[in-house]
């Protein structure tokens, strides 16, 4: 696993963004884990978050794009901090836009940025907005965590469904499999985040909702 991935997993736990227990998601699914990107609130947290997104985007998509698109409202700060980090880390100026500040230049190559995609439903609203604003090409989507669950069709993952439906790749800084493997029985600030009980609950969840 790349070092930025393990660092990002530690960062999610430290920031109380990734939690384990018993949660009901917007999709109605009962989940043993929950990610809330709204818990990133401080300047230093947002700075680090932008750096992890920038590294993952560079890792997966290289440098051939012009704009970061962050869907309102959660995606807006993500696009902003990623643009800042990308400039600092790779010396490339990338513009940002959102539903409130649309891409206007024809021919722009766009990377979309979201916090997490559980079912892929958010893309039904976002993709037409991006493509309707100007003649742009969507290079891909970057989310922080791939939950590795079946999408709305119930057969393949939400990110795979997005590729089938819209024709671009969906990637994540880390997958839930990487998170589980890294945190299982690992002590983190004096406690084990994923113990045997939580690991069993995660395994059971993926038996029902995981990608085959």
Strand partners, 20: 33
CA distances from 106 to 138, 167, 191, 192 (A): 12, 19, 52, 50
Q: Cite the DSSP H helix spans in 30-122.
A: 43-61, 75-90
- Active site includes 104? yes
Among residues 106, 121, 155, 204, the one annotated as catalytic is 106
Cβ atoms of 105 and 79 within 8 Å: the answer is: no
Pairing of strands 67-69, 95-97: parallel
Among residues 30, 92, 104, 204, the one annotated as catalytic is 104
Sign of the torsion angle spanned by Cα atoms 166, 97, 106, 173: negative
pLDDT of residue 80: 96
Model confidence over 89-120: pLDDT tens digits?
A: 999 999 998 875 555 566 789 999 998 875 56
- Active site includes 58? no
> What's 17's DSSP letter?
-
Q: What is the pTM of this model?
A: 0.91
Pairing of strands 30-35, 95-97: unpaired
Pairing of strands 18-24, 30-35: antiparallel
Cβ atoms of 79 and 68 within 8 Å: the answer is: yes
Model confidence over 1-23: pLDDT tens digits?
A: 899 999 999 999 999 999 999 99
Q: How many CA atoms lie within 13 A of 121 on its CB side?
A: 7
**Segment among 68-77, 136-145, 150-159, 176-185 with least mean pLDDT:** 150-159
pLDDT of residue 123: 80
Model confidence over 72-85: pLDDT tens digits?
A: 888 899 999 999 99
State whether residue 186 is helix, strand or coil.
Answer: coil
Model confidence over 51-61: pLDDT tens digits?
A: 999 999 999 99
Cβ atoms of 71 and 91 within 8 Å: the answer is: no
pLDDT of residue 105: 65
pLDDT of residue 118: 58
pLDDT band, very low/low/confident/very high, at 122 (cuts 50, 70, 90): confident
State whether residue 167 is helix, strand or coil.
Answer: coil
Cβ atoms of 110 and 69 within 8 Å: the answer is: yes
């Amino acid at each position: 696993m790349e070092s930025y991935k393990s660092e990002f997993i530690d960062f999610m736990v430290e920031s109380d963004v990734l939690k384990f227990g018993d949660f009901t998601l917007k999709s109605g699914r009962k989940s043993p884990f929950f990610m809330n990107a709204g818990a990133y609130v401080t300047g230093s947290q947002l700075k680090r978050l932008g750096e992890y997104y920038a590294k993952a985007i560079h890792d997966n998509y290289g440098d051939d794009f012009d704009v970061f698109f962050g869907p309102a409202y959660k995606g807006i700060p993500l696009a902003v901090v990623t643009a800042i980090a990308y400039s600092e880390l790779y010396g490339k100026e990338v513009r940002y836009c959102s539903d409130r500040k649309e891409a206007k230049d024809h021919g722009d190559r766009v990377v979309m940025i979201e916090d997490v995609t559980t079912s892929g439903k958010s893309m039904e609203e976002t993709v037409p907005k991006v493509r309707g604003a100007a003649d742009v090409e969507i290079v891909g989507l970057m989310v922080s965590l791939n939950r590795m669950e079946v999408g709305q069709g119930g057969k393949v993952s939400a990110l795979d469904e997005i590729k089938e439906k819209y024709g671009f790749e969906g990637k994540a800084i880390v997958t839930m499999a990487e998170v589980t493997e890294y945190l299982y029985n690992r002590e983190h600030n004096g406690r084990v985040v994923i113990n045997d009980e939580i690991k069993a609950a995660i395994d059971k969840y993926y038996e029902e909702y995981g990608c085959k």
